[in-house]
Amino acid sequence: MYDVTVGESFKAVQPWLTNVQEAAGEGIPILLLGNKMDMDGDREVSFREAERLAYENKVMFFEVSAYTAKNVTESLTQLARVLMEQEDRVRDTTVILSAQPIKKKACCK
């Protein structure tokens, strides 16, 4: 998350993304959020600039307002959808073993 009214917070996103992507590996969904979209008059980071960064790094992107709650639910719902789709794909390739009861031999008669 970065603050759309503070350009320095956006500049810190690229190194952070690089670190997260290296640590998490491929296929891990990442959501980039630009906060304070309600403060358009104080904006230092354009929507297009952030959208381009997200596209180049193959991450999801939303602008949100924690103050007004705009896009907060939508962004998290989208992340949840992606995680559920990913889980479904993994489940489809997983071998499911059926639990067979193990017959135990009596040790003493």
Residue 51, classified by CB atoms within 10 Å of its CB into exposed (0-12), middle (13-18) or buried (19+), is middle
Judge contact between 37 and 4, C-beta under 8 A. yes
Please indicate, yes or no, if residue 85 is contained in any of the structural domains. Answer: no
Look at residue 77 in the predicted model and tell me its pLDDT.
Answer: 96
Please indicate, yes or no, if residue 79 is contained in any of the structural domains. Answer: no
Look at residue 26 in the predicted model and tell me its pLDDT.
Answer: 79
Please indicate, yes or no, if residue 78 is contained in any of the structural domains. Answer: no
Please indicate, yes or no, if residue 89 is contained in any of the structural domains. Answer: no
Q: How many CA atoms lie within 13 A of 72 on its CB side?
A: 9
Span 31-52, pLDDT tens digits: 999 999 999 999 999 999 999 9
Total structural domains within the chain: 1
Alpha carbons 15 and 9: distance in angstroms, whole number:
11
What is the reported pTM? 0.76
Span 77-106, pLDDT tens digits: 999 999 999 887 776 666 666 666 666 666
Please indicate, yes or no, if residue 81 is contained in any of the structural domains. Answer: no
